[in-house]
Amino acid sequence: MKKIYRQIIFLAFLIVGTVIILKNHSNPPYQTNNGLVFGTVYKITYQSAIDLHDSIKTELQKVNQSLSPFNSNSVIARINNNDPAVYPDSMFLHVYHLARSISADTRGAFDITVAPLVNAWGFGFEHSRGIDSLTIDSLRFLVGMENVFFDGEQIIKTDSCVQLDCSAIAKGYGCDVVAACFDRLGIKNYMIEIGGEIVVKGKNPKQDLWTIGINKPIEDSLAQQSELQTIVKVTDLGMATSGNYRNFYYRDGKKYAHTIDPRTGYPVQHSILSATVLAPDCATADAYATSFMVMGIDSALAVCNRHPELQGYFIYADTAGNFAVKYSEGFKQWLK
């Protein structure tokens, strides 16, 4: 009799263990990985039975090797340095062609050849050597997508002093690259954030849409203050925010923000404080968010009206200096 009881108990444990294993297999836990890339932090949450951090770092390193101007061996750095026989990889070409398309759509508000001006104003990958109107006028001749083209093998520049800077699109593209890796691996639920640019898919650990806050654009160069303006609940899209409330400096009592208008050569000076964009992919959202900061609210909303796949949320200073918001019609569905 005791033997039968032992067999029953053993069988019960076996059944319970099998149920637990099957449950964990069908409903794996959520993993979270953190790290540094592109001079900023990333946080990636995803549902997987195994830790995929090594795969994530491999993908991000590929983007870094292609698009980082701070990496002297990257494709973009070698093009900027006029190294011979630089053959761009598929990542660089994807971003380059997307940048050309968005530049044309925004009438030059987005332009990856803006690097000489960004550097001159002290916001780029080279130290500023001082800035005045004559310097700006001379550098503007180097800025414009007509100054660079792909001949089928290499990137050709009309002037050796032309330089490229993909900082306004690379973080978003990095999110897309990790998302593509997850999709190949069959990961259905994830949120990828790199320096505030985000891709979300599926559901969060609570089996709900992903909840993301949009910060108030409080002037804070040290990024120590954070207060939410609103909250969105989103999934299956890319999200990016651009603003002038953290990367800026004062000179002779005047504020200079990091968003440079490629068409004028000067930092933008208008009421818009931040632009948040939702798009099918994060590289597109990233680039348009920067474009909208250059264009201003009315022109940005006009672009959203032309492109129903783009949705924008804009925080600006009203005539009394208070925070105010405008957003495209399609953005309403995501507001919590």
What are the structural domain ranges in the chain?
A: 32-334
Return the pLDDT at 104: 97
Return the pLDDT at 23: 45
Residue 14 phi/psi, 5-degree rounding, is -65, -45
Return the pLDDT at 19: 37
The CB-based long-range contact list for 119-126 (8 Å cut-off, 24+ gap) reads 119/163, 121/256, 121/258, 121/260, 121/267, 122/249, 123/247, 123/258, 123/260, 124/69, 124/165, 124/167, 125/69, 125/70, 125/165
List the one residue out of 240, 241, 262 whose CA is nearest residue 111: 262
Return the pLDDT at 12: 46
What stretches of 151-204 show up as alpha helix (H) in DSSP? 167-185
C-alpha 272/C-alpha 318 separation (Å) is 9
Return the pLDDT at 148: 97
Return the pLDDT at 220: 58
Return the pLDDT at 251: 55
C-alpha 51/C-alpha 30 separation (Å) is 9
DSSP 254-283: EEEES-B-TTTSSB--SSEEEEEEEESSHH
pLDDT in tens, the chain (336 residues): 555 655 555 554 444 444 344 344 568 999 999 999 998 999 999 999 999 999 999 999 999 999 999 899 999 999 999 999 999 999 999 999 999 999 999 999 999 999 999 888 777 666 566 677 888 888 999 999 999 999 999 999 999 999 999 999 999 999 999 999 999 999 999 999 999 999 999 999 999 999 999 998 876 544 555 789 999 999 999 999 998 665 444 455 555 556 889 999 888 887 889 999 999 999 999 999 999 999 999 999 999 999 999 999 999 988 888 889 999 999 999 997
C-alpha 261/C-alpha 256 separation (Å) is 12
For 278-303, b/e burial (b = at least 16 CB within 10 A) is: bbebbbbbbbbbbbbbbbbbeebbeb
Is 32-334 in CATH node 3.10.520.10?
yes
